[in-house]
Amino acid sequence: MRRISNQESGARDSSGLSLAALLSFDLEPLIRWPVGFQGSYRSDFPVGDNGIFEVDQASVGVYYTRRVHLALGLEGIWRHGAVRPGVTPDLTADSTTAAIQFRYYW
């Protein structure tokens, strides 16, 4: 029987801090158009030597806002971050994603 320790398996503890901001604006009360805009930004920072991966993410979205229980819209997400920090060669990646959101809450 062989016992595998954390060193052999490559597992490690990580710690970090995430900071985020979100801005949302609905045009319905101003000009009676049922359109809302949303923008957000999030950044993850490592804390200590065994910190988490450094990642930045931003998103923008346009949503239909007239029905309270319906979440319908289009969202674009950009993400930039390390893939394998501390391993030679250091790799980072950028990704851009577009998503159609359709959720109904009852």
Hey, what are 32's tokens?
A: 């009676």
By C-alpha distance, which of 104, 35, 32 is closest to 71?
Answer: 104
Hey, what are 34's tokens?
A: 């049922």
* In a domain? residue 3: no
Give the pLDDT band (50/70/90) at residue 11.
low
Tell me what pLDDT residue 67 has. Answer: 87
- Residue predicted with more confidence, 89 or 75: 75
Q: What is the mean predicted confidence (pLDDT) over 32-41? A: 93
* In a domain? residue 26: yes
Q: Provide the greatest CA pair distance for the chain.
A: 72
Q: What is the mean predicted confidence (pLDDT) over 77-99? A: 82
**Domain span including residue 28:** 15-104
pTM attached to this predicted model: 0.71
* In a domain? residue 9: no
CA distance 18 to 86: 20
Say if residue 12's pLDDT is above 60. no
Tell me what pLDDT residue 5 has. Answer: 44
